[in-house]
Homo-oligomer: A and B are copies of this chain.
């Protein structure tokens, strides 16, 4: 894993830190992120189920990290152009895990796909798609 990128991603991005994200896997064009469960992440106390906003926040972050991982140095940044999340099953009151893969990266725009589950692909809570803008800090 590119430890410098992991450190930036987890420690320098306050909301990632706030949600308690961890990076389980990271390779060029793919990553696996995790948010350990906390009771304040509940969105539906009746079923009960995770809040969709925890799911979408993790999906957004994972897609962005997957795109960043395709670049060598720290001079490239990403910003989300759009995000779509399909909620397939209620998120469990357990760790939420997101695998993100880059579908296509161009000079200026990258597309990613995300799968969100609880440790097994037999229970996929959600799937996501993201489009990201690439920019060079030196520009």
Q: Which residues of A contact B (CB under 8 A)?
A: 12-19, 39-46, 49, 51-54, 56-58, 60-61, 64, 77, 79-90, 103-104, 106, 108-109, 111, 113, 124, 127, 129, 131, 133, 137
Bound form: Cα–Cα A44–B84 in Å: 20
Pairs across A and B, CB under 8 Å, 15 listed: A13-B44, A13-B51, A14-B39, A14-B40, A14-B51, A44-B77, A51-B60, A53-B57, A81-B81, A82-B129, A86-B111, A86-B129, A88-B111, A106-B133, A108-B108
Bound form: Cα–Cα A90–B80 in Å: 9
Nearest opposing residue in chain B for A15, CB measure: B51
Given A81-B81, A127-B103, A133-B109: A19 and B86 interface contact (C-beta under 8 Å): no
Contact B52 A83 (CB under 8 A): yes
